[in-house]
Amino acid sequence: MKLHEYQSKQLFAQRGIPILKGKVASTAAEARDIAVELGGRAVIKAQVLVGGRGKAGGVKVAKDAQQAEEYAAQILAMNIKGLPVRKVLVDQAAEIKTEIYLGITNDRAAKCPVVIASMAGGVEIEQVAKESPEKVIREHVNPFLRLRDYQVRNVAAGIGLPHEHWKAFGEIAAALYQTYWDTDATLAEINPLVINGANQLLALDGKIVLDDNALFEHPDLAEMRDLDEEAAAETEARKYGLSYVKLDGEIGCMVNGAGLAMATMDIISHFGGTPANFLDVGGGASSEKVAAALRIILSDKNVKAVLFNIFGGITRCDEVARGILKALDEVPTGVPMVVRLVGTNEAEGRKLLAEAKMITATSLADAAQKAVAAAKNK
């Protein structure tokens, strides 16, 4: 789960990272009032859960409250990478001398956190990392020892940070690590961490990505979820405990088990089709859960055929069949459906589905070929 910039910076500030004053607005008039409070000059920043807002024109420095209102109106009317802007952050504007990148993330290969830093921070950091990797410094952290002072000094020296900033940088790095640790984040990032006109270090931008698997331990953070920013299908899937990822293809897939779901998607591609989603209904899925899953699949207008691949073990095929019938009852559809049901209570499941007009298949290869053909004929 991603947090907005304003949320991330609040979590940073609570742990001592210096940020500038600001507030969130959802109308241009509100933005104007906030700019007045801040003394006129302000930066207006789109609050959408994607990177590259600056390059897309979603970050603008206004010279006074009047201009803050104009910029806020422009930015609130924008779509950034497909996401409508619903809120802007109105912050005090900073005078920037240097933009530093400082982030902490999980290095899965090294199985530990890694601090990443560069003096060439700002909106071009991806480019810098690609073209001048020597400008990006990495320091792995032993999670039991946590981030040590000498490591922060390594980083500061490695990026060539002037010595006068080392103390402030050390405090910020420690607080960033604390934020990353406390929130069970997979990423805690400040880009840019600036040196301003008064020679102070300030976090101008903030990004935190939380580990969904640890969210149950952080009800306060879970509450920060912005439902407006999430596709309705994803909200629905989470409610029913379904693992669902929307993709761009045409064949909706309902499968029990993540590995089987991956195999199903692979075999669809093998026979020339494209999967519309990854969907794992999990073990022992109830008919309610199956019905919700089918509703979610059918809500995707790209779906031209649905493939059910159920391997009954703990999951009972008759229960899955009931779920399918229930969903079809609620949302009648002309989309062709191919079913492959094997395992526990397979015969009962087949019998239940006999009346529904479904294409049955005996093997996974057979099912995938039939689904691909059905999608092409649609």
The residue of the chain with the least Cβ separation from ligand GDP equals 54
Among the residue ranges 94-102, 174-182, 256-264, 284-292, the one whose residues contact ligand GDP (CB under 6 A): 94-102
> Where in 184-213 is the site for ligand GDP (CB under 6 A)?
191-192, 204-205
Q: Minimum CB separation from ligand GDP for residue 203, in Å?
A: 10
Q: Residue length, the chain?
A: 378
Pick the closer one to ligand GDP by CB: 63 or 357. 63
Which residue from 127, 109, 107 is spatially nearest to 118, judged by alpha carbons? Answer: 127
Provide the b/e sequence for 111-145 (b: ≥16 CB within 10 Å): eebbbbbbbbbbbebeebeeeeeebbbebebeeee
Token pair for 64: 């006074």
Q: Minimum CB separation from Mn ion for residue 42, in Å?
A: 17
- Which spans of this chain sit near Mn ion (rule: CB under 5 A)? 191, 205
Backbone angle region of 293, left / alpha / beta, with phi > 0 → left and psi within -120 to 50 → alpha: alpha
Residue with tokens 């109105």: 90
| CA gap 215, 222 in Å, rounded | 6
71, 101, 180, 240: the catalytic one is: 101
Using rule CB under 6 A, residue 93 touches ligand GDP: yes
What, of Mn ion, ligand GDP, none, does residue 78 touch, CB below 5 to 8 Å by kind?
none
- Pattern of binders to ligand GDP over 229-258, x per CB under 6 A? ------------------------------
30, 69, 189, 250: the catalytic one is: 189
Q: State the number of binding residues for ligand GDP (CB under 6 A).
A: 19
- Catalytic, 164? Answer no
| 3: DSSP letter | P
Among 94, 136, 147, 321, which residue interacts with ligand GDP (rule: CB under 6 A)? Answer: 94
Which residue from 251, 243, 183 is spatially nearest to 2, judged by alpha carbons? Answer: 183
Q: How far apart are the first and last CA of the chain?
A: 36
Among the residue ranges 53-61, 156-164, 321-329, 353-361, the one whose residues contact ligand GDP (CB under 6 A): 53-61
- Catalytic, 171? Answer no
Q: Minimum CB separation from Mn ion for residue 191, in Å?
A: 4
| CA gap 137, 173 in Å, rounded | 14
Element (H, E) at 176: helix 166-182
Q: In degrees, to the nearest 5, what angle opens at C-alpha 318 toward C-alphas 312 and 322? A: 125
Catalytic residues: 101, 189
Binding site for ligand GDP (CB under 6 A): 43, 45, 51-55, 59, 61, 93-94, 96, 99, 122-123, 191-192, 204-205
